[in-house]
Amino acid sequence: MESQIGRRCIGLDVHREFAQVAIWQGGLVTQAGRFATTPEGVRAFADGLGPADEVALEATGNTWAIATLLASRAGRVVVSNPVKTRAIAEAKVKTDKVDAEILAQLLAADYLPAVWRPDPATAALRRQVLRRAHIVRQRTRLKNQVHAILHRNLIPRCPAADLFGHKGRRWLAEQELPPDELAAASALLRQLDFHGEELRLIDTDLGQVALGRPEVLRLMTVPGIDATVALSIVAAVGDFTRFRTPDKLVAYFGLNPRVRQSGGQPATHGRITKAGSAHARGMLVEAVWSASKAAGPLRAFYQRVQARRGMQIAVVATARKLAVLCWHLIISGEDYAYAQPSLVAHKRRKLELRAGLPSARGHNVIIRGTSAAGFALRPQVRITSGRPPAPGTSEVIVGAAIA
């Protein structure tokens, strides 16, 4: 009872310039004004906190920076999921003061749906992955604008495979365009070159990160999952052990169907929830397109579902299976049993080149027992057919994982 009397639950309704404060103590909620959401303002507010204080705030753009500063003084800092805080979203009277009060009351009652807080390395990886995705979208937008200029001026398709490669650009320079369209196309190409260099730089950084992350290399043994997809999954999930079952991870990615059931009526299932990281979910879907073309269980599963339910449902179902597979691989610490050695080696070498390792002849020789990145390897041999391999066949999968 004494701990409840000294306990303070503080709700913060955070905005860009300020945060509204409400304090719950002994069953009563009082307003405590505002403080500026600047480093100085947050530190000044944190100076008034103690080990018995608990602070709650909703996840938003500047939440994690504020939570980090408050965690050094407060006994507990909880970041709530705004999607699940229905008491705030559906309130009839919605003001900053009311929102802060509701957060304080939910925290005091232990009814606040909390968000997992990533460690600094995972948070940095998330920012890098999303920044790369933004650069790729910008490049796609610029390319589409160049294609639109050609289409407007009745110029046929480029005979080269890549309009923006060397041959394609030479062909583009020979086309007759109005002066304003020519200037616009030149400007778009300059922007495309700039974003291309930015993409190369961030790919180098991410490649170096991937080579140092065993879980990324393990996921790359799955057909369809390259370094980009593996990094996106690892960045979104962070700690795989926080999901007790693979179904929890599937729900985190929003790949589980909606369920409605009441009374004695049978449950009805709808479309997937699309909760969680849209980028990671999109990466899993992209991985399906490649996995569906590579021989193995994933392709067989995709084809079975496609024959019964159609392509779209088959893609989503296979993406869900990929999420389940990723959970099992990371939790068990094993590589994919049906991995294709040549494909895995190709993806690994491509990652090493992306990370900046030398590509000149004579510099990329892999010493037996090590990788080109200098990591020690331990051999893993699996017989995928369940019987001893016949001489001269490739039924034995020889993989390599970081020791």
Contacts of 213 (CB under 8 A, 6+ apart): 231, 234
Residues 6+ away with beta carbon under 8 Å from 109: none
Taking the C-alpha atoms of residue 84 and residue 224, their distance in angstroms, rounded to an integer, is 33
State CA 379 to chain mean position distance: 30
Query: Tell me, what's the pLDDT at 393?
Result: 43
List Cβ<8 Å contacts ≥24 apart for 251-259: 251/275, 251/276, 252/276, 253/277, 253/280, 253/281, 253/284, 253/323, 254/278, 254/281, 255/281, 255/284, 255/316, 255/319, 255/320, 255/323, 256/320
Task: Retrieve residue 96's tokens.
Answer: 């900053």
Full pLDDT tens readout for the chain, 403 residues? 445 567 999 999 999 999 999 999 999 999 999 999 999 999 999 999 999 999 999 999 999 999 999 999 999 999 999 888 876 667 677 899 999 999 999 999 999 999 999 999 999 999 999 999 999 999 999 999 999 999 999 999 999 999 999 999 999 999 999 999 999 999 999 999 999 999 999 999 999 999 999 999 999 999 999 999 999 999 999 999 999 999 999 999 999 999 887 887 888 888 999 999 999 999 999 999 999 999 999 999 999 999 999 999 999 999 999 999 999 999 999 999 999 999 999 999 999 999 999 876 555 544 444 444 443 333 343 434 444 444 444 443 434 333 3
The pLDDT value recorded for residue 361 is 55
The pLDDT score that the predictor gives to residue 94 is 82
List the one residue out of 274, 271, 232, 230 whose CA is nearest residue 252: 274
Residue 47 to residues 7, 17, 71, Cα–Cα distance (Å): 17, 19, 11
Are the beta carbons of 290 and 230 closer than 8 angstroms?
Answer: no
